[in-house]
A and B are shown apart, each in its own frame.
Chain A
Amino acid sequence: MVTATQETTTLPVAPVATARRRRTRPGSRRGHLPLALLLIAPAVIGFAVFFAYPTVQGIYYSFTDFHVLSAPNWVGLDNFKQLLADDVFWHSLWVTVYFVLLSVVFGILISLVTAVIMHRLTRSTLIRGIVLLPFLISGVVAAMTWSWMLDPGLGIVNSFLTKLLGHPVLFFGDSALAVPSLAAISVWKSMGYNAILIFAGLQTIPATIYEAGRIDGASELQMFRRLTVPLLRNILVMVVILTVIGSFQVFDIVQVTTKGGPQNASLVLQMYIYNKAFSQFDFGYAATMSLALFAMLIAITFTQLKMTRAGESDLN
């Protein structure tokens, strides 16, 4: 999604002249159309029915008062007006942005440092594998495990904190801590994945660049700032975009731990949309909010791609 496809012409195109016989050669222009259509048919049908059609449908629903049981009525811009005046929507948007900021800033920082240190110290697949472990389990399992460890009465973290502070900390029950706690779980879960993506990017940087830097007397920290980070720009942009898009759509961790509480303190946008659609069956309004989310994600992605000149590499 981030990098464009440049490699479209790598197939050697055989001369067309010999393709007149009954058996067509791989290079012939016409012979494969029916077979190609057959082979792409499932993908095209899947795309049309479950991506293109619902996209159009979703845009349509956002202009209706669709409630599942009755047919949708066109209500024009009513949903959008409601959205602008909906304090809970703006609150949930703010909660989401706060969650995204925490996840991205801390997530990327820790992943980057971990990847650089792994790259410098060891090639061990075992350590990379261990770091990746949380990525393999579901958000539900991660959320369940942490809600047990952070439990105010019996959780190991709190039994430690109680000895230290004299009182337990209500990670999910305290409005100020709910979102940071959720972000911490999300960082714990995705850190290893991001670290391995960055690690792979580090391996593409030629060692000679570092040797040159060292000869010029650069310290490890200087090389990290002046060489590693700029040369990793492409992969960092991708990791940031993936993390932003992923965090904007956080749901399972919230659903298992706080359900948006206490008092909507951790009501992320996706949770609010889900409540609107499946508790109140207000599909039209839920679709309007999803459309707003969609628009924001596209805007963020394009701005980031533009601002960071992704796609260009300093290595070339």
Chain B
Amino acid sequence: MATRSVTARPSVGRVLAWIYLAVIVLITLFPFYWILRTALSNNFALHTDAGSLLPVDFTLGAFKRALGLATVAEAQAEGGSGASLNTALYLRNSVIYAGVQTALVVFCSATAAYAFSRLRWRGREVVFSILLCALMVPAIFTLIPNFVTVKNLGLTNSFAGMILPGAFFSAFNIFFLRQFMLGLSSEVEEAATIDGAGPLRVFFRIVLPMCAAPIATLCLLTFINTWNDYFWPLMVTSDESVRPLTLALAVFKQASPNTAVDWAGLMAATLIAALPMLLLFVVFGRRIVNSIGFTGIK
């Protein structure tokens, strides 16, 4: 803001501040570079030159192992453990888990937010306050009973079991969208009503399109959170046919013996697990950055 013109002259403080920022950026970025550097190295060769800033004995072998494209013999020749990671399957699982969950919960939140902001009915504020109480309950407390529920429904080891608890209700999402919908002008809505549109039609044709930006924001945040979720999938799944990628990674690490961890393969897998989020970020970076500021202010 206006402070810029006053502080623009170079000063010791300013130089120090830039150095601080540079260090922060370096510490933030370096591990990402290190993942890439290790993933492009030969796992055996890593032992010979651990401190090299460039890939050691450059090879794409680690990616092949991580993607399950290498034979056991090939993998072991390059220092793999022989443990394979069916990345394509886990990627699919993650996409289903995060995708379906996001679509369902954002849609259900949008309909609820519409009812809580644009429709008039008795008990509206009371019901809304009760739902908001869920924000106070920490995840750990509901996890064990929810696990029992899912188990009793026979849904362990299924996508339904992973998705259901978070599919219909998110206090934060409803709150977030409601705040936005409250701020919409009612004139377009009234015009549509006079033209004979029912409230449901108003919702789909007018309110929903007007909320495209905050809905996109919520989709991104929900998708990131679900994609990175660890505890719940760990609890309800043991079968690899439904396990998401984050879990598979941890299992892959445990599978490799402690004496000779396949770090190159692990880092390749790590990169593959992080890649979808990084790509989302390249496409929607500005929106994510700004929306986090926005969700904070509320």
Contact = CB atoms under 8 A, between A and B. Distances in A.
Contacts of A245: 138
A87 B292 CA distance: 41
Interface in B238-270: 246-247, 249-250, 253, 263, 266-267, 270
Contacts of B91: none
A137 B274 contact: yes
A61 B149 CA distance: 13
Given A26-B186, A43-B169, A125-B289, A133 B28 contact: yes
B249 to A, nearest CB: 5
B118 A11 contact: yes
Contacts of A130: 25, 28-29
A160 B53 CA distance: 12
A114 interface: yes
B230 A140 contact: yes
Given A32-B120, A36-B121, A196-B289, A148 B267 contact: yes
B3 A42 contact: no
A193 B267 CA distance: 24
Nearest to B203: A39
Contacts of A172: none
A293 B280 CA distance: 35
Contacts of B250: 140, 144, 252, 255-256
Contacts of A121: 14, 17-18, 21
Interface stretch (A73-81, A101-109, A199-207): A199-207
B34 interface: yes
Given A136-B277, A256-B253, A29 B120 contact: yes
A278 B190 CA distance: 55
B224 A39 contact: no
B117 interface: yes
Interface stretch (B57-65, B69-77, B107-115, B211-219): B107-115
Interface in B183-242: 183, 186, 189-190, 193, 196, 199-200, 203, 224, 227-231, 234-235
Given A28-B120, A207-B2, A39 B32 contact: no
Interface in B277-298: 277-278, 280-281, 285-286, 288-290, 292-294, 296-298
Interface residues of A, number: 120
Interface in A283-315: 283, 286-287, 290-291, 293-294, 297-298, 301
B116 interface: yes
Interface in B67-107: none
A200 B296 contact: yes
B103 to A, nearest CB: 13
Given A61-B144, A156-B34, A201-B296, A42 B169 contact: yes
B122 A33 contact: yes
Contact of A40 (B112, B145, B164, B293): B112
Given A26-B189, A26-B193, A290 B50 contact: no
B40 interface: no
B11 to A, nearest CB: 9
A141 B28 contact: no
A309 B268 CA distance: 48
Interface in A179-231: 188, 191-193, 196-197, 199-201, 203-204, 207-208, 210-211, 214, 220
B38 A148 contact: yes
Contact of A46 (B21, B47, B108): B108
Given A120-B3, A139-B228, A155-B50, A58 B21 contact: no
Contacts of B228: 137-141
B193 A23 contact: yes
B145 A137 contact: no
A46 B169 contact: yes
Interface in A138-160: 138-142, 144-146, 148-149, 151, 153-156, 159-160
Nearest to B26: A130
A46 B168 contact: yes
Contacts of B2: 207-208, 210-211
A17 interface: no
B165 interface: yes
Nearest to A158: B50
Interface in B113-162: 114-122, 124-125, 127-128, 130-132, 134-146, 148-149, 151
7 contacts: A1-B135, A23-B196, A29-B122, A53-B145, A113-B20, A129-B281, A293-B141
Name the 5 nearest CB pairs between A and B, nearest first: A46-B168, A200-B293, A46-B169, A54-B145, A138-B228
Interface of A: 1, 3, 5, 7-8, 10-14, 23, 25-33, 35-37, 39-40, 42-47, 49-55, 57-58, 61, 68, 110, 113-114, 117-118, 120-122, 125, 127-134, 136-142, 144-146, 148-149, 151, 153-156, 159-160, 188, 191-193, 196-197, 199-201, 203-204, 207-208, 210-211, 214, 220, 235, 238-239, 245, 248-249, 251-252, 255-256, 270, 273-274, 277-278, 283, 286-287, 290-291, 293-294, 297-298, 301
